[in-house]
């Protein structure tokens, strides 16, 4: 972090560090809060932001309206609930940073899928998403498994270092986009799990797919790794039900290695999105609709 910090202007360092201290204060406060109170506070903060920040409200409602096949009658109410979920997710992560045992709030619905695959292959590619609490998703899989996860760095280096430290405190290792493919292949060769949150917009290097009736540009890395390394790939989801986080693994996706690379990667990626779409239909208020998922690709990025 030192080399990166040297390039940051002093004023920005002071602002970033002040924000970091504020976040750590919130984190310390959550230590003494039960999960029910955290959920209630998240809803209150989310409701306030929905009313006080028009840009958030507009983007949420617009994205939900663009999701033409989403089965929801009142998308404005859904937009508000989605922002409440996001605020709760932040507070939950702050709480998680002080927790050592998650047995009471983490529930794996079908752990036999993962254990069976590990006995046969050891190395597995897991595609996750921003449904419910993705930080819980990362912690749950790395709690008992050696895992390499790929994440985008934060502009605030102090917060990013703190988040990374918490994500890595069990058996996880977080890397950024630099040398992603080579590091992922090495991790798979070493018998580790490689986890990727694949569902955010990727204009440069993304492939054209369909999501809720719209064209979106999706990260092909999970499919690429599965095709090139011939390791199994599964979809991994998290939903929050009655105060507990429920994790579920899909069956391994079918891969036809006789098909051309581009065709098969396209098929695998679309299959992952189809599985995600099905989960989101069941819990639409838990999805990260604030992210501009339906962003159009600029002409200079066109294939």
pLDDT tens for each residue of 181-230: 999 999 999 999 999 999 999 999 999 999 999 999 999 999 999 999 99
Q: Output DSSP code: residue 53.
A: -
List Cα–Cα distances, 45 to 38, 61, 200, 276, in angstroms.
10, 18, 24, 27
For residues 76-101, one letter each, b for 16 or more C-beta atoms within 10 angstroms of the residue's C-beta and e for the rest, the string is eebbbbbbbbbbbbbbbbbbbbeeee
* pLDDT score, position 303: 54
pTM metric for this prediction: 0.93
Sheet holding 147-150, edge to edge: 106-108, 244-249, 233-241, 124-128, 193-197, 147-150, 172-175
pLDDT band for position 15 (cuts 50, 70, 90): very high
pLDDT in tens, 60-116: 999 999 999 999 889 999 999 999 999 999 999 999 999 999 999 999 999 999 999
Range of the domain at 50: 2-301
> What single-letter DSSP state applies at residue 201?
B
Distances (CA, A) of 290 to 50, 75, 86, 259, 293: 11, 13, 9, 36, 8
Half-sphere exposure of 293 (CA within 13 A, CB side): 27
pLDDT band at 3 (very low <50, low <70, confident <90, very high): very low
What is the tally of structural domains in the chain?
1
User: Which residues lie below 8 Å from residue 260, measured CB to CB, with a gap of 6+?
Assistant: none
Run of H or E residues at 204: none
**Which pLDDT belongs to residue 1?**
43
Pairing of strands 124-128, 233-241: parallel
Question: Residue 298: how many CB atoms within 10 A of its CB?
Answer: 9
Tokens standing for residue 134: 């993705």
Distance between CA 277 and CA 266 in Å, rounded? 16
Q: Are 140 and 261 in contact (CB under 8 A)?
A: no
């Amino acid at each position: 972090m030192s080399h990166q910090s040297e390039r940051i202007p002093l004023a920005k360092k002071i602002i970033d560090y002040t924000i970091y201290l504020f976040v750590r204060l919130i984190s310390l406060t959550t230590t003494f809060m039960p999960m029910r109170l955290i959920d209630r506070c998240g809803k209150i903060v989310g409701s306030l932001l929905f009313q006080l920040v028009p840009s958030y409200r507009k983007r949420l409602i617009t994205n939900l309206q663009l999701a033409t096949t989403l089965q929801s009658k009142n998308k404005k109410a859904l937009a508000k609930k989605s922002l409440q979920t996001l605020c709760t997710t932040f507070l939950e992560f702050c709480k998680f940073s002080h927790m050592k045992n998650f047995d009471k709030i983490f529930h794996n619905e079908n752990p036999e899928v993962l254990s069976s695959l590990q006995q046969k292959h050891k190395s597995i590619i897991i595609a996750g998403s921003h449904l419910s609490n993705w930080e819980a998703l990362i912690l749950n899989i790395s709690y008992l498994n050696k895992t390499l996860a790929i994440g985008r760095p934060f502009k605030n280096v102090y917060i990013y270092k703190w988040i990374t430290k918490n994500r890595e405190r069990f058996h996880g290792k977080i890397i950024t986009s630099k040398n992603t493919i080579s590091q992922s292949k090495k991790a798979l060769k070493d018998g580790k799990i490689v986890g990727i949150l694949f569902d955010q917009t990727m204009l440069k290097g993304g492939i054209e797919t369909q999501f809720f009736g719209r064209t979106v540009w999706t990260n092909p890395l999970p499919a690429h790794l599965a095709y090139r390394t011939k390791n199994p790939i599964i979809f991994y989801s998290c939903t929050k039900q009655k105060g507990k986080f429920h994790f579920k693994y899909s069956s391994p996706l079918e891969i036809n290695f006789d098909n051309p690379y581009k065709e098969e990667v396209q098929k695998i990626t679309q299959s992952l999105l189809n599985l995600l779409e099905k989960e989101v239909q069941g819990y639409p208020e838990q999805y990260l609709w604030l992210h501009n998922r339906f962003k159009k690709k600029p002409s200079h990025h066109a294939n």
